[in-house]
Each structure stands twice: as structure tokens, then as C-alpha cells.
């Protein structure tokens, strides 16, 4: 059997990458739309709530809006922090855009094992953002 390397044009690679971003975004859809999320973590280790890269917002005109996180109810046996980064995201128009990502990170107290939970609110200054003010409840199992 003979094998040949396959080289994909960069435009196709961008489409594949955007498709994967969309696919993984759908996997985290319950988290992205608000509501309840569950998480399993090792005691004392920091873990990002959703591996989709975090919360972000681009309005219909293409303006990137920063997203902040407000902890509503803190965890009893750990801490919640945020991480800011940037990444490429595909917009509904099909355009890829660099956006600011805000990730939520949970870390239990070292040595703690058991159940924990917290709630947080997603906040933007964009008056057209349908997710502005959504509250997320996260149930955590610490092992």
C-alpha cells in the first residue's frame, strides 16, 4: 500500500478549524446558554469550567465587547477566579474574528474532598446582548 501526504489549502484549514470551534461550542452549549453545569476536579487543582475558551461577545456590527464575571454565591470549599485571553471565534456571518475570552476557573481548598457549588453572572455593557445578566450554577465534585 502506498501512502501520499495530503496538503490542505489554508482556506480549507481555516474552515475546518472554525467548524471544530463551532462543534466544541455546541458541546458546551448548556453552559454557554446559562443554567446548570457540573464539574469534577482533583483536590487543590485549578480547573477551567468550560474548555470552550470562555465567555465572549461580538455584536451584530462586529464590535467586540468585554465580558466580566460576577460571583453571586461563592463556593464554600474553594475559590473562583477568572482568566482573560484572546482567541479566534467564528461569527454567524462566517467571519473569523479575534475576541477577548473570559474563562471561569474553580480551585478547591487543598485536601478538601466532597461536593461544592457556586453561581456566577455573565455581564457585558452591550445593550443588545441576550446573555447579559445570565446566571450560571456550577455543581462541583472534588476528589
β partners of residue 45? none
Asked if residue 20 has pLDDT above 60, the reply is no
Topology of domain 10-142 in CATH is Immunoglobulin-like (2.60.40)
Helix, strand, coil share (%) of the chain residues, nearest 5: 15, 45, 40
Could you give the CA distance from residue 60 to residue 32 in angstroms, rounded to a whole number? 18
Instruction: Return the pLDDT at 94.
Output: 87
- 87-133: pLDDT as tens digits: 898 888 888 989 999 999 999 999 999 999 999 999 999 999 999 99
Quick one: pLDDT band at residue 73, thresholds 50, 70, 90? very high
Our CA angle for 47, 53, 55, nearest 5°, is 105
**Is the model's pTM score more than 0.85?**
no
User: Which residue do the cell numbers 456590527 mark?
Assistant: 61
Amino acid at each position: 500500500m502506498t501512502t501520499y501526504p495530503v496538503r490542505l489549502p489554508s482556506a480549507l484549514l481555516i474552515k475546518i478549524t472554525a467548524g471544530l470551534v463551532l462543534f466544541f461550542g455546541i458541546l458546551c452549549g448548556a453552559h454557554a446558554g446559562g443554567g446548570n453545569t457540573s464539574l469534577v476536579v482533583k483536590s487543590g487543582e485549578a480547573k477551567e469550567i468550560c474548555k470552550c475558551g470562555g465567555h465572549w461577545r461580538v455584536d451584530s456590527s462586529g464590535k467586540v465587547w468585554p465580558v466580566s464575571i460576577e460571583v453571586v454565591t461563592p463556593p464554600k470549599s474553594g475559590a473562583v477566579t477568572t482568566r482573560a485571553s484572546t482567541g479566534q471565534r467564528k461569527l454567524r456571518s462566517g467571519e473569523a474574528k479575534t475576541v477577548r475570552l473570559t474563562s471561569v476557573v474553580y480551585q478547591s481548598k487543598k485536601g478538601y474532598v466532597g461536593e461544592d457549588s457556586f453561581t456566577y453572572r455573565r455581564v457585558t455593557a452591550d445593550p443588545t446582548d441576550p446573555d447579559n445578566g445570565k446566571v450560571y450554577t456550577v455543581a462541583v465534585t472534588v476528589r
